[in-house]
Structure 1
Amino acid sequence: MENRCNLDLDFIPKELKLLLEIMKTENEDRYVPFLVETYKNIDWKLFLQLAMHHRVYPVIYSKLKNLNENVIPKSVIETLYQEYRKNIFQMLGLCREMEQVSKLFTENRIAVLFLKGPVIAADIYDDISLRTSKDLDILIPINCLEKAEKLLLNCGYEKKVNPFILNEWKWKSHHMVYFHPQRNIQLEIHWRLQPRPWSEPSFSELWERRRVSTITTYPVHFLGKEDLFLYLVSHGARHAWFRLRWLLDIDKLLGKGIDFDKTNLLLKKYNNIHIVGQALILASQLLKTPIYDEMKTSKVRNRSKQLAQMAIFFMKDMLPLETIMLTNEYERYQFSLKSSNLHKIYPILLLFYPTIADAETLRLPKSIHFLYFPFRPFLWAWRTATKYTKSYRK
């Protein structure tokens, strides 16, 4: 990338810098000993914590496993191996479940696209053991949700219930979570790739461009290359790239090659050039991902660089997303990420949409739930006043 896109990395710990250098190293035997010598007095405990937090330990293990213990402490390699081994069993279990869910839904005439998990590990890394996944994410048409839920409940899944009224879930969420207690597997059913009001292709468009995975006996469908690229970019950007695994996905996917003409058409249609630019800058600066001229000129702009620099702040600390979301920095980042006026005012509009808290404050028959819309400001004021009254009495 051009020098004007250089990021400030001085404030990140040397253990994270070493992790990044190992991730982008091709000839491990030759370069890793030099890197370890360069970054002296490494805190190996912190190094392992960072590898685990960023979910890149399978790749790190694959690069370090054959090195002399004089270069990397034996305990570090052993810890990485144990976690790598656990991940193999996790991915095999998800792979088996992925095939069963695909068969279940297809036989019941529900079109299903797998978004992440073993299917993209095999596609991007050529090896399901080199990527981690804690659950399965699938996308189905919104009109199939009720049918899909019945099928999953009959198979032993339990729904993680978030109470809603007036179809609030359609506007405030984009997926539902299910958990199988016997198999210890979590499944997320998406009816949108991203939360509203992000603009995105329809399910039918994505289905037309789908691919079929060859890692299972029963056919498993997943996103086309360009759709997968834009989905992973949007997902990483929304979560402030606080895990390096998502950036490594971009690096590997670009290495496989994508159709830039198709990608450019999708970028113009869905107005997400700035976040693609952010991903390109981060991948190029942190992982030395080769960025071709077709992807440079129109996408690498000042706004993208600012977003990339903001993301570095979230990468350096090992904080869970729930904690990150409470910070002022995250609020500023999310506002900078928004690409349209609708995107910026959408959270304000949602404040006027009734929630379960309104139903708990004033119980109305379902037939007149629409009255929660005009009542909402008064119900909110009542809850606020009650809260302060109780606090004052204490």
Structure 2
Amino acid sequence: MARARLKTKKLLTPELELALICSGPEVSADAKGRLAGIANGKIDWTLFLKLVMRHQLFPMIYWRYKERYLPVFPVSVVAELQKADRMNKIRTMQMTMEMTELVRGLAERGISAIVVKGIPLAQMLYQNITHRTSNDIDILVRQDELEAAKQVLEERGYEAEKEQYCLIHDALPEWIEQTQSVACFDARRKIMVDLTICLGSHGAVIPWEEIEGCIEEIIFAGQMIRVVKKEVLFLHLILHGAGHAWFRLKWLLDIAYILEKGEISWRELYRLSDKIGVSHIVNQSLLLVHEICGITLPEKIERKASNSKVAYKLAQQAMELMKISDFNPVKLGPMPPSKTYFLYKKYRFCMLHSWKQRIQYGYYEVVNLIMGIGRELSIKISG
């Protein structure tokens, strides 16, 4: 027996529904009819703009508006979309140039870097690098190349963020080694690069032998770039979005666009997700993309996802977090204590599929909480 549908009514306000239809994979005749009905109704355009900016949906919406695929928006809304789109174009071009320079510099040191998500993903899904925002450059390297890659970035003016693990390193060396990444920031260019040695998230790492089978070389701005594709990319996007509770719906739309292309092998996807114990997270993302983005799934896959109790619970938890207007897990700290903080940590705990992972994660978060409280107290004392 299929499970009841997700309760999307409180999340899908007319403003958010309008934004999702405007930026979704296909503006069909049926969708245009719904668009006209929504746009002609009582729309809070201030809220619409806020949602479009928060979920970073404005590049596709503005492009479609210019191409006259969308209904007429108020002049003030169009002006704000145009302004954000112009800034995104400039930023994207800067990051594209920097990405190619970084890959070239790493290759000269014999480092076979792989660019993940970001600008190549925008080209792959939207056929235009400016139709999707990119906040940083994600580069995947092997563990034995991490220090050399970090040095290349430092020579270009990047500064690595300080290590904050200490006690965690001693207690959970395997956990840290599997998920290690180094965030490097160039203050002059205002560009963040995330050097990582794995794809996935805490407790769910895609094996390198699987990654190697999905690597493709493409020419980008005159430079050969290595990227991951197919089921490995799809699964990584799911794990990344789910790990952040899909607080930016552009990540869920990425999933929708990939599904609309119809190039994913369901058998291969579930083989890989079963291998690393994350099929429940895959099912969660499919439930959300079906209910929120309106993507039609194969009947067998929809039934499989709907019948997963864990996936259904995770989908509901993610939607509770999505409804919080200022929710951003990247900026969410333990001080001062908040309901949102504990809701998110509970959600992350439920994502883990084994008790070993849950115990490790619990210890990890307890240490982080103690360290966070300690930092706050030291600041207050010194102040």
RMSD of aligned alpha carbons:
3.2
Q: Which residue of 1 aligns with 2:319?
A: 312
Shift of 1:346: 0.6
Aligned to 1:130: 131
Tell me the residue number matched to 2:332. Answer: 323
Counterpart of 2:180 in structure 1 is: 174
- Which runs of no fewer than 5 residues in structure 2 stay unpaired? none
Shift of 1:65: 3.1
| Residues 327-354 of structure 1: CA deviation (Å, up to 9, x unaligned) | 2321221222111111211134448989
Change in Cα spacing, 1:82 to 1:259, as seen in structure 2 (3 Å) is same
The whole-number CA distance in structure 1 between the counterparts of 2:22 and 2:369 is 48
Matched, 1:235 2:234: no
The match for 2:351 among 315, 333, 337 is 337
CA distance in 2, matches of 1:272, 1:70: 40
1:112-149 Cα deviation digits (max 9, x unpaired): 11112111111111111111011101110111111111
Q: Is contact 1:165-1:356 (8 Å) kept?
A: no
Contact persistence 1:165–1:355 (CA under 8 A): no
**Alignment correspondent of 1:361:** none
Give 1:240 deviation, angstroms.
Answer: 0.6
Q: Aligned residues, how many?
A: 360
Q: 1:285 is matched with which residue?
A: 291
Report the secondary structure of 2:226's partner residue. strand
What secondary structure does 1:4 align onto?
coil
1:57-96 mapped onto 2 (5 Å cutoff):
57-67=58-68, 71-96=72-97
Q: What is the CA distance between 1:81 and its match in structure 2? A: 1.3
User: Corresponding residue for 2:207?
Assistant: 201
What TM-score, normalized to structure 1?
Answer: 0.82
Structure 1, residues 12-66: CA drift from partner, whole Å, max 9, x if none? Answer: 33322322233345147655222212xx321111110110001111122123335
Q: Name 1:262's counterpart in structure 2.
A: 268
Tell me which structure has the larger Cα radius of gyration.
Answer: 1
Distance 1:275 1:113, change over 3 A: same
Counterpart selection for 2:253 from 248, 254, 268: 248
Q: Are residues 263 and 41 of structure 1, via their aligned partners in 2, closer, same or farther at CA, if it must alter by over 3 Å?
A: same
| CA deviation profile, 1:76-101 (whole Å, cap 9, x unmatched) | 11111111121111111111111111
Residue of structure 2 equivalent to 1:36: 39
**Structure-2 separation of matches of 1:351 and 1:250:** 29
Q: Distance in 2 between matches of 1:239 and 1:324?
A: 14
Pair 1:253–1:156, CA change in 2 (3 A): same
Question: 2:302: which partner in 1?
Answer: 296
- Other structure's SS at 1:123 match: helix
Residue in 2 that maps onto 1:215: 220
Structure 2 counterpart of 1:7: 6
- Offset from partner CA, 1:199-258 (integer Å, 9 cap, x none): 4212x5413420123333111011121101000000111111111011001001112221
Measured at CA, do residues 216 and 68 of structure 1 come closer, stay the same or move farther in structure 2, by a change above 3 Å? closer
Could you tell me how far apart the structure 1 residues matched to 2:70 and 2:364 are? 56
The 1:282–1:268 alpha-carbon spacing in structure 2 relative to 1, beyond 3 Å, is same
- 1:122 and 1:297, CA in 2 relative to 1: closer, same or farther beyond 3 A? same
Unaligned runs of 5+ in 1: 358-379
